Structures are given as structure tokens and as C-alpha cells.
A and B are shown apart, each in its own frame.
Chain A
Amino acid sequence: MADGRLEIDRISKRYGDVIALRETTFDVRAGELFGFVGSNGAGKTTTMRIALGVLAADGGEVRWDGTPINLETRRHIGYMPEERGLYPKMKVGEQLVYLARLHGLSTSAARRSMEEWTERLGVAPRRDDEVQKLSLGNQQRVQLAAALIHNPGILVLDEPFSGLDPLAVEVMSKVLLDKASEGIPVVFSSHQLELVERLCHRVGIIRSGQMVAVGAVDELRSGGTVEMVVEAPNAQAGWAGGLTGVTVRGHENGRTVLELGDGADDQEVLRAALATGPVTEFSRRRPSLTELYRTVVTQEVAA
């Protein structure tokens, strides 16, 4: 199983009486950008901290490339904690070199890497400034550089996009996609679902410490219900009422929103629509990740 995958295998964690994670399981494939979403307190940060070894799991295993992760392999992970943290009074350049050295790089390699990443992330002119003198946005860039400085074989980023301006979001997105295309597994958590949908190859949704959906966004969509929008100006209300597996969600000014359940045939819907007169729009409405997320999370709450 030496395929460069990062596997989170049935990890559990409880804090006193609170169960934070129950057998949380997912994997991030090499070369893949994986979006990790869930509400606050669902267990994203706990999962990432366990993967990084800063927190011990009660049960389960984290594997990379088929072998359980230990302190040595952890040094290959680039990590951006949710709680951003750097020495406020240390200079940007020195700090990055220090962190790179702690990950096992030689002094010269650490210097080169620091120069490369500060250049790439646009903070090169601030190398000799103390971190606390930088703007929040630039501190974020330095934080990202800290995660990338040792040329990691895995990237685990907790909320990397929070607090970034649109320009910085673009820089961050590009870096993450670049790293994934280099063939390493990249996982990040975020509440910005449109961004996750746009960037990620696959997503995982966690709720109350359990994964409730894992897969490509398209895959997840196909699992849910299908919505259709039909615009037939002459159609009367109730034109689609008799069709099997079809529920009418709304009808207004000749525009009808339908939900197609199991056994429904979209071609039959089209025929029925044409029977009412001209059809100006007939489209499948693809649920966004936001809608999927809402469905998944509320379903679980109801269950």
C-alpha cells in the first residue's frame, strides 16, 4: 500500500465525558486536494492535531504510505495550526530558518528554502522584520511559509483561508494546487464551501466526530436528490403532478422546480412539459456543496 496516501483510520478521542471523535475514517490520496468541512466543534481540529501527533488519540491509527505515522515521518508533514502561532519577537527569516532546522534541514538548505518561500509568497522584503510588526495578512503568509519551509511530503492545514483577503486567497489556492500536483496529499479544513467546491478533488464532511460523507463533490451530488427547473410559459399548476417519483417544489410564472426521486425519468418530465406548450428552459439543477452540506448535516440531526 505504498501509494503515498494519508489514512486516518478509525481514530477516536474523548475529552472527559465529551466524545470528540468516534472512529473517524478517511483518506487523502497522493496528489489530491482534500477539503475537510464540518461545523464548529465537529472534530476537524482534533483530527488534524492527532494526525500531527500534538494530541494523542484514544484509539485508531494514522498511516502514511501504508505505515503508521511516528515522530520521524511527522517531520514530513507541513502543518498550519488553527491557532496561528509564531514567535512574535523573532524576525521572519530567522524564524523560518529555525523551523526548517527543527524539521531536520541543514542550515544552508533551510536558508535556501526560506529565501524561496518568502519570495514566492511575497514577504521577501519583510525577512528582517519581527513577525509582530507584520500585518495580519502577511503574518498568515509567513505562517503558510512555515508549513512549507521543509518541503513537506504531506500538507495538513487547519483553516488556511480564514482571514485572507481575496488576493491572498488566490495565492494560497495556487500554492495548494501546486503542492497537490507535485504528488503529495493535501488536506485542509474550511468553512468557505464555495472555495472548497472549486478547489478540492474530494471532500469529507464531519459531524459530531463522525464522517458523514466522503467523496468527490460530483459523487456526493449523485447520491442525493436531483432538482430540475422547467420553464414552460403555458403550463398550468399541477402539470407534473401525475409523474412517478416527481415532487413539485414550486411553481411560479410558468417556472416550475421539481425534485426527481427514485424511479423518476427526466425524459418523461420533458414530454409532459412539451405537452403543455413551448418549453424555454429545461435544466438539471446541480446542488452546490453548501446545499449538500446542509442536507447531510440536517439529516443527521433529524436521525
Chain B
Amino acid sequence: MSTPSDIQLGSWQAVSLVAGREINTKLRSKAFVITTIATLVLLIGFALVMKAISGGSDATVGFTNETSAMAKPFAAVAESVGESVDTKTVSGEQQGRDQVSDGSLDALVIGDGQSVHVVVKKDLDDGLRDAFNVLAGQVALNQQITELGGDPAQVGATVAGAKAQVDQLEKPYPYDPQQLVLGIVAGILIYMSLLINGQMVAQGVVEEKSSRVVELLLSTIRPWQLMAGKVLGIGLVGLLQMVVIGGVGLAAALALDVLTISVTAAVGTVAWLVVWYLLGFLMYSLVFAGLGALVSRQEDVGGVIAPALMFVILGYVVGISVLPSDPDNKLAEVLSVIPVFAPTLMPMRLAMGGVPVWEAVVSVVLVVAMIPALVWLAGKIYANAVMRSGARVKLTEAFRQV
């Protein structure tokens, strides 16, 4: 007898062999490498654009020696009307005019410092014009105060100190605009990877069915081992992708000073992203694997997983359309705790901040509790349907059989 001595293949070994093949195949696929690099380039590009928009000043305004005293008040005024300007002092009016003509200065303030007289090349942009007008008003006001014997500085301080008193019945969470952006990015990332990797699982299942290789595989391993290996393999690659993209993106944003939130908050966002990616992927990919097993042709994959995919899309759409403008939205808050919507909504809310601890905990617990039920359900559908090629297997049949 030529029987090989002692064939030992534990469940874990079988699962990891299958997962290994998935990882190997995926890491070497051009599509994977290209999407990863493209996403990275996009994220870094986004960070650079953000820096270009927010980082640099809008305009450079020159002051002569006579008007240089106005530089500081002008910068303050400009900031209050939302213009970010650089101020510099030029050595003489003529040099200043030259710089305005060659474009290195956007405006030059000349005169004796008693009134605001601005030289520009062609036109003054509206923001700057407002700032100059306010400045002119202030200069005039200060002159009047001085004439009346008052101290402009003291008046200025008193005016600045006067504020309406507001009593808040409920303290709103102080959302940081940067974190809102972070939440949007987190939402897009998790949505994309759930969408791509989830469909990958369904397609992989159908590939084995349509190429008939599944019969050969199932003669040596059990259906659940094949399914688990596939989910695990694709999930790990997706996780790797998520960590790389999230990590590099965040590092780039922090390095470029686009993000000025603390490193702990940033790391926390990525950590939550990873947790929710894992939970969401497990939840959806199991369903996708089960549903994928019902059909035998790649063309039918889309149709059969569409109902489950709707939940992913719905959660994402609600999140991306409501949360950025209204992070406290009640509907989004309620949905984000419901397991089918949580994987897309919760990480967005967590990245934006202000999620009560209990909500974060409850949503995780609910999803974790749901996963064993899904494992059982998807495993049953998969095992019953995966060997039946040809027409689409009805869900009810897949349940009843065997």
C-alpha cells in the first residue's frame, strides 16, 4: 500500500491554508496594488490641498514706515473678517509701488497714518476691502476719541470686553471642524473597504463555484473551513490595507500640520476605524459568502448580495449626508447603534467625537453578539448551496436542505 503515513490536517491548518491562498492571490493582484496606491495618493493629495487652502495666507499687504503702526491693528481686523494676511514693511513708498506692480504685494498702505490710503495693482478683493474699510473706520473712531480727550486703547479694550451673556440649557459638544473632516474620511474609508472586500468574498465564493474547483476542495476540507478561510484571508488583507492607508494618511496630515488634533486623538480614530472595519467586515462578509453561494455565475453576484449591500450603502449615505452638518443628528445617533448600520455610522461619529461611552459600548456589544448567529446562518446556507450549481438556489431551499 502506498498510503501516505498519517495525514494530519487540523481545522485551523485547513482554514489558514485557504486564508494563505487568498492573501497570496490578493496581494499579487494588480487591482489591489493599484487601488491601495491610488487611495494613498488621493489621501496625501487631499492633505496637500487642505494645507494649500488653509495653511498659507490669502494676501500680503505692505506698509510704509509712516503707516507701519497700522500693520498690527490691520492684521487683527483682517482675521476678524476671516482673511488671513501677511504684513510687511517696505523701505519706501516707491519700492512698495514697484512690488505691487510686480505682484509680490497685493496691496500697499501709504499716506501719513491718519487715514487709510491703499494702492493696488488693479482691484482690491472683497475680503481685503472689508478689512481696510473696518480699519479705516477704526482709525477715524480713534481720532474722534482722541479729540474728545479719551484714550483709544482703553475704549478698544472695553469694547472688546463687552459680550452678550448666553445661558446654555444644554451644553453642546464642541465639535472640532478637523474632527468632522476626519469623520468623513473615516466614513469613506470604511464604506469603501466594506464594499470592495465584502464583494470580493462573494465573488471568490462564486469563482470557486463557477470553476467547479469547489468540489475538489470539499473532498478534503469542510465547507465551513473553506468559508472561514476565505473570509479570514480577504479580511486580513483588507485590514492591512486599512491600517496602511489610515496610518499613512494620518501621518501625512499630522506632518503637514493640516491636522492639529493631538496624536492620541488621531491614533484613537485609527484604532476605532480598525475595530469597526473588523466587526463590519466579519458581519457583512459572512452574509455575502452565504448569499454568494446561492448563485453560480459572476454576473449574478451583484443581484444576490444587493439586499445586504443596501444596508452598507444606506448607513453610509445617512452618515455622509447628515453628520458633517449636523453631528448631533438624532436619526444618525439611533441608527449608529443598530448592528446593520453601526459599521458605517459609528466610526464616523467616533471620529467626529462626542459619542457617549455607553453608545460606543452598546453598538460594539450588539454586533459582537450578532456575529455567532451570522456564522451559523451563513455557514448553513453556504454548506447547503455551494455544491448546487446551475440555477440560483432559493434562500428557503438552502435552509431546508440536509
Contacts and interface: CB of A to CB of B under 8 A. Distances in A.
B166 interface: no
A122 interface: no
Interface stretch (B4-12, B51-59, B359-367): B4-12
A225 to B, nearest CB: 40
A104 B8 CA distance: 6
Contact of B9 (A4, A30, A102, A146): A102
A153 interface: yes
Given A86-B211, A101-B17, A153-B4, 20 more contacts: A53-B219, A54-B219, A76-B7, A79-B219, A83-B389, A85-B215, A85-B216, A86-B216, A87-B211, A88-B211, A98-B17, A98-B21, A99-B220, A102-B14, A102-B17, A102-B220, A104-B4, A104-B7, A151-B2, A151-B3
A90 interface: yes
A218 interface: no
A4 B3 CA distance: 10
Given A75-B220, A77-B219, A103-B9, A85 B3 contact: no
Contact of B213 (A4, A87, A150): A87
A102 B215 CA distance: 13
A77 B9 CA distance: 15
Given A71-B222, A79-B219, A81-B215, A105 B387 contact: no
B212 interface: yes
A260 interface: no
Given A85-B216, A88-B211, A98-B17, A182 B2 contact: yes
Nearest to B387: A54
A90 B215 contact: no
B1 interface: yes
29 contacts: A4-B1, A30-B1, A49-B215, A54-B387, A56-B402, A71-B222, A74-B219, A74-B220, A75-B9, A75-B220, A76-B3, A76-B7, A77-B219, A81-B212, A83-B389, A84-B212, A85-B211, A87-B211, A89-B25, A98-B21, A99-B220, A102-B14, A102-B17, A102-B217, A102-B220, A104-B8, A105-B4, A151-B3, A184-B2
Interface of A: 4, 30, 49, 52-56, 71-72, 74-77, 79, 81, 83-90, 98-99, 101-105, 146, 150-151, 153, 182-184
Interface in B217-240: 217-222
Interface in B384-402: 387, 389, 402
A141 to B, nearest CB: 15
B214 interface: yes
Interface residues of B, number: 29
B7 A72 contact: yes
Contact of B212 (A85, A90, A98, A99): A85
A62 to B, nearest CB: 13
A193 B207 CA distance: 35
Interface in B1-50: 1-4, 7-9, 14, 17-18, 21, 25
A153 B2 CA distance: 6
B17 A146 contact: no
A138 B166 CA distance: 83
Contacts of B1: 4, 30, 153, 182-184
Nearest to A73: B7
Given A85-B211, A86-B213, A102 B2 contact: no
Nearest to B214: A85
Nearest to A78: B219
B10 to A, nearest CB: 10
Contacts of B18: 102
Interface of B: 1-4, 7-9, 14, 17-18, 21, 25, 207-208, 211-222, 387, 389, 402
Contacts of A79: 216, 219
A55 B14 contact: no
B172 to A, nearest CB: 54
A89 B29 CA distance: 11
A76 to B, nearest CB: 6
A274 to B, nearest CB: 55
Nearest to B1: A183
B388 to A, nearest CB: 10
| Among all A-B residue pairs, the 6 with the closest Cβ atoms | A85-B212, A104-B7, A153-B3, A85-B213, A104-B9, A83-B212
A201 B4 CA distance: 25
Contacts of B3: 76, 151, 153, 184
Contacts of B2: 151, 153, 182-184
Contacts of A146: 216
